[in-house]
Structure 1
């Protein structure tokens, strides 16, 4: 490993954060072709997990953002034709958000971009190194059960 400034190797946590930044940057660069921000992409992904629709407050909770910020994201997605607002059939005062067919298609394309961005960054690893990294990360994030 190449020593870091001051002759010390970077801490493992710093390397994990640097990797995450590189993947996010590659992902954001790929999203730019569709003029989709990472926050809009996350909202689209959440909406795709609720095919029957979701209330804006639930979207905000799942995105861990303020309701006002969620409204801004929803407005932008609706303006682009990727999302529709409708009255909640169980409570006409409430709003439900659903993806439009165009939004569903975009989510599928974005998932491909996410995979490609990761592949671009992790492409320097051998197959064995990738399996090892996958195993380690699975343990760390609790997905190994």
Structure 2
């Protein structure tokens, strides 16, 4: 009689998480290529962050803080996204020296396509799991995400 498989060790789990993350990224990139979207991961993240500011478009300093980068790095990202007509710089109505960044219609459309590519990639990766296994995995991931959020 064979013994049950030993539980994975933390280094094994870490490696599996890294491999799964890479696989998810590659699958998302494939779906984005199908949509003819060429953005860097940093540009994609900046679009998502700008979209989270619903009440008032963020300032460059807000974006730098959220991305944890120097303001010059944000300028480079905004320049590239502005060239793709995904964002635009607008003066702050209360202080004309302040520049805010807002999504354009193209930027919102791009974000919708990116979210679709992410969902399609997840669907591809999760295909081998049953509905019950996906539900369990979702619960486990929520626990990890929520636990990480309380420590940050």
TM range (shorter): 0.7 to 0.9
> Superposed, which structure 2 residues align to 1:14-33 within 5 Å?
14-32=15-33, 33=36
What 5-or-longer segments of structure 1 have no aligned partner? 3-7
Q: What residue is the counterpart of 1:131 in the other structure?
A: 135
Alignment match of 1:50 (pick from 53, 71, 77): 53
The offset of 1:29, in angstroms, is: 3.1
1:82, 1:99 within 8 Å by CA — same for their partners in 2? yes
Alignment match of 2:112 (pick from 97, 108, 115): 108
Specify whether residues 65 and 119 from structure 1 end up closer, same or farther in structure 2 by C-alpha distance, changes over 3 A only.
farther
1:83, 1:99 within 8 Å by CA — same for their partners in 2? yes
CA–CA distance in 2 between the matches of 1:57 and 1:30? Answer: 32
Q: How many residues align?
A: 137
The offset of 1:65, in angstroms, is: 2.4
Specify whether residues 16 and 22 from structure 1 end up closer, same or farther in structure 2 by C-alpha distance, changes over 3 A only.
same
CA–CA distance in 2 between the matches of 1:129 and 1:107? Answer: 29
CA–CA distance in 2 between the matches of 1:84 and 1:137? Answer: 35
The TM-score with structure 2 as length reference comes to 0.81
CA–CA distance in 2 between the matches of 1:30 and 1:68? Answer: 31
The TM-score with structure 1 as length reference comes to 0.84
CA–CA distance in 2 between the matches of 1:142 and 1:59? Answer: 23
Alignment match of 1:41 (pick from 31, 44, 62): 44
